[in-house]
Amino acid sequence: MSVTTQYDFDAIVVGSGITGGWAAKELTEKGLKVLVLERGRELRHGADYTGEHAPDWKLPFQGKPPRELYAEEYPVQSTSYAFGEATRHFFVNDKQNPYQTEKPFNWIRTDVVGGRSLVWGRQTYRWSQQDFAANQRDGHGIPWPIGYDDIAPWYSYVEKFIGVSGEKLGLAELPDSEFLPPMGMHKIEETIRGRLKRKAPDVNLTIGRTAVLTQNHNGRAACHYCGPCHRGCSTGSYFSSQSATLPAATATGNMTLRPNSVVEKLVLDSETGKVSEVRVIDSQTGERLRFRSRLVFLCASTVGSTQLLLNSGSEAFPNGLANRSGALGRYLMDHVHGIASMGIFLDDMDSYWHGNRPNGTYIPRFRNLPGQEDQNDFVRGYGIQGNVVRMNWKVNYHRKGFGANLKDSLRKPGPWVWAMVAFAECLPDKRNHLYLHPNKRDRFGIPQVVFDAQWRENEYKLWEDAVGQSERILRAAGAVLNLKQHESDSPVGGAVHEMGTARMGNDPTEAVLNAHNQAHDVPNLFVTDGACMTSASCVNPSLTYMALTARACDYAVKQMQAGVL
């Protein structure tokens, strides 16, 4: 007599950030009963953005970083641009949530429902076919099991929902998205763009492509340029799980969201070869819980999902669940980034900006494009994100002077400054990895993560070229003074674009996941966050994570309907 398995849910999604929110939306809208497990605290959209419009004098410590508190309890999180007294309640306490490093690694983590979708930079770019073909072309890493044509429809699907403002360029190296109207460029940016067209025609300067609305869209309001976005957006003008995907999943009536739920382990059924149970620790009460489902989607972030898989070893997989390939935890990547150059401009001194535009400019990759590969002693490329500001009294407050003349001089804005921040691709390298510490455990008894990753020769060459090219661009743009150029001092993890460690690939002896983000060795297990990435490109990766998640959900549900899962 056969025994019918009783499931608590059709699917369990681990994590509520950018990919977890998408998995929740897609699976619930397809009729599945879904449990979303989030280790962070509950956070109400809007109501709990307590620092959103708060002036400094209403914030703890007058909004000024308390040195001892940050140094002792937030030494890593305080390196994030989004961290401060207005947002500290979004982030983990480093002292309470330690990890180990063999080489410096910045692991930026949030501790609330919505995850890092609340504090991401919102820059939203498609990968190109050149990006998906890079590994196979130059021999670094394994080939991607998919190409641009496979994911392009899913890019469109995601973009139409989240809303992406931007400008069409028609470039193969940076495919256009489904755009809302672009944000306006400052007058000085238009001046710089005009000069680059004449003096550096290989460089395209455009407004950044960002998941911030320029018109009302899908029930969310257009941005009114109040900023800064990372404090939370009660109007939902920028995309986050809180503003868009989780409300969509809630509207179906099919989602159960459980915050304060630390997933400890996935249990493998030795007879079926599937995940049979998800074990959870309630972070508030210490209670241990068990949930069962037909599908499991890991969306806990690159490091979080990999930590869970490594901690879910079994007799069948002693080195981590679904790790027959030995690739789990390896090929850790990020983007090398930092200010490559910064120049002063004396043009358009009669203009200024209005509001707080949550966006800058972007220069798409222009090195090692097709036909250029033999021109350089490095592979892959980089893009450059830019931002312009006017110097003000904060720069000159220490100047000599006295009385009314000094005050009047401080009221007048100074010259324009254009900062160029390069993001360079990191090659997949087996030596760059993370693993579990054999002895040290966190406060829940889970082994701590250890990072062993560093930039290598090709990354340094890319950065050196980015600095040199940025100088050329500044000269062509008409800068009167180059203020800054340096080597990137940001460690791996500093760009907060960590990826790899459970890569996709057709060969199960080399990759953890197949072309649909499904574990080769565990058919009801899917990983759709950054851990799935086989290479890194040089553009911000979140749009690709979202598209892969929507695609994987579609595949998984069809497999269920066909009786395969």
The DSSP-derived string for 479-502 is: -SEEEE-----PPBTTTS--B-SS
What is the mean predicted confidence (pLDDT) over 288-300? Answer: 98
What is the mean predicted confidence (pLDDT) over 126-133? Answer: 98
Does residue 373 register a pLDDT over 80? no
Query: Does 487 reside within a domain?
Result: yes
Query: Does 352 reside within a domain?
Result: yes
What is the mean predicted confidence (pLDDT) over 440-459? Answer: 97
What is the mean predicted confidence (pLDDT) over 527-545? Answer: 98
- DSSP strands (E only) in 208-254: none
Does residue 371 register a pLDDT over 90? no
- Chain-centre distance of CA 172, in angstroms? 23
The CA distance from 406 to 409, in Å, is 5
What is the model's pTM?
0.96
Does residue 2 register a pLDDT over 50? no
pLDDT at 397: 62
What is the mean predicted confidence (pLDDT) over 510-527? Answer: 98
Query: Does 480 reside within a domain?
Result: yes
Compute φ and ψ for 492, nearest 5 degrees. -60, 135
Query: Which residues does residue 255 pair with via DSSP β-bridges, in sequence order?
Result: 34
Query: Does 65 reside within a domain?
Result: no
pLDDT at 549: 98
pLDDT at 374: 75
Query: Does 360 reside within a domain?
Result: yes
What is the mean predicted confidence (pLDDT) over 248-268? Answer: 98
List, as one string, the DSSP characters of 140-184. Answer: SSPPPS--HHHHHHHHHHHHHHH-EE-----BTTB----EEPPPP
pLDDT at 4: 53
pLDDT tens track for 200-237: 999 999 999 999 999 999 999 999 999 899 999 999 99
- With cut-offs at 50, 70 and 90, classify the pLDDT of residue 3: very low
The CA distance from 163 to 238, in Å, is 8
pLDDT at 261: 98
pLDDT at 1: 29
Does residue 465 register a pLDDT over 90? yes
- List the single range of 340-344, 401-405, 424-428, 507-511 with lowest mean pLDDT: 401-405
Total number of domains in the chain: 1
Query: Does 255 reside within a domain?
Result: no
pLDDT tens track for 183-193: 999 999 999 99
Q: In what order do the strands lie in the sheet with 288-291?
A: 261-268, 275-282, 288-291
pLDDT tens track for 92-127: 999 999 999 999 999 999 999 999 999 999 999 999
Residues 228 and 5: beta-carbon distance below 8 Å: no
Q: What is the mean pLDDT of the chain?
A: 94
- With cut-offs at 50, 70 and 90, classify the pLDDT of residue 65: confident
- DSSP strands (E only) in 59-150: 100-101
Q: Write out the two tokens for 172.
A: 């193969």
Does residue 58 register a pLDDT over 70? yes
- With cut-offs at 50, 70 and 90, classify the pLDDT of residue 401: confident
Residues 519 and 527: beta-carbon distance below 8 Å: yes
End-to-end distance of the chain based on CA atoms, in angstroms? 21
Instruction: Provide the residue range defining the domain that includes 363.
Output: 170-229+336-424+455-491
Q: Residue holding tokens 């097709």?
A: 370
pLDDT tens track for 138-169: 999 999 999 999 999 999 999 999 999 999 99
The CA distance from 60 to 315, in Å, is 51
Does residue 396 register a pLDDT over 70? no
Does residue 546 register a pLDDT over 90? yes
Helix/strand/coil (H, E, C) string of 45-60? CCCCCCCCCCCHHHCH
pLDDT at 22: 98
Query: Does 393 reside within a domain?
Result: yes
User: Judging by beta carbons within 10 Å of its beta carbon (0-12, 13-18, 19+), is residue 288 exposed, middle or buried?
Assistant: exposed
- With cut-offs at 50, 70 and 90, classify the pLDDT of residue 488: low
Query: Does 264 reside within a domain?
Result: no
Q: What separation in angstroms does the CA of 100 have from each of 104, 280, 384, 470, 548? A: 9, 23, 32, 35, 30
